[in-house]
Amino acid sequence: MNDAKTELGRKILKIKKAKGLRWADIAARITMSPVWTCALCMGQMSAEPHHARGIAEILGLDEEEEATLCEIPYRGAQPMPPTDPLIYRFYELVLVYGTSWKEMIHEEFGDGIMSAIDYDMQLERLPDQKGDRVKITMSGKFLPYKRY
């Protein structure tokens, strides 16, 4: 169902490289965050018309591609378990830290979950003498389990 969005993602990666743009550049154009902009271009988010407009302009997309950016995707094309080592490391974090997240969030908030929908994320480079680090900051709204 996502063929159009996936194909557009591949095309955007090529244009972005050819134009020497960074995700931050594209994001700045639409005043959104780089992570969300990247996820949108990779076909995992849906844009509002003005976002699609801005991205189409900076990347030189046609009208149909602009509309494709606004479509709501069937999310989750990522194979599981991930075969790519970079992505696998995040899967491994779930394996190793899953129970800790559960215990700590319940301790602090009670029964419920951290939303993956009302959710945002940032990704930064953290300079470090022993080797720079990838820093990821995320926040998701706590949703209490309804008792009814």
At 115, is the secondary structure helix, strand, or coil? strand
Does residue number 32 form part of the binding site for its own copies (CB under 8 A)?
yes
* Active-site pick, 10, 22, 75, 89: 89
Closer CB to its own copies, 60 or 144, in the complex:
144
Q: Is 115 a catalytic residue?
A: yes
Closer CB to its own copies, 61 or 72, in the complex:
72
- Pick the closest to residue 68 from 94, 40, 108, 102 (CA basis): 40
The pair of structure tokens assigned to 56 is 């189409």
DSSP state for residue 19 in the 8-state scheme = T
- Give the shortest CB-60-to-its own copies separation in angstroms: 19
Q: Which of residues 50-89 bind its own copies (CB under 8 A)?
A: 51, 72-78, 80-89
Closer CB to its own copies, 61 or 68, in the complex:
68
Total binding residues toward its own copies, as defined by CB under 8 A: 92
| Farthest-apart Cα atoms in the chain, separation | 56
- Give the shortest CB-131-to-its own copies separation in angstroms: 5
Strand partners, 126: 133
- Measured distance CA(31)–CA(76) in Å, rounded: 25
- Give the shortest CB-76-to-its own copies separation in angstroms: 3
- Measured distance CA(25)–CA(7) in Å, rounded: 22
Please give the positions annotated as active site: 89, 92, 115
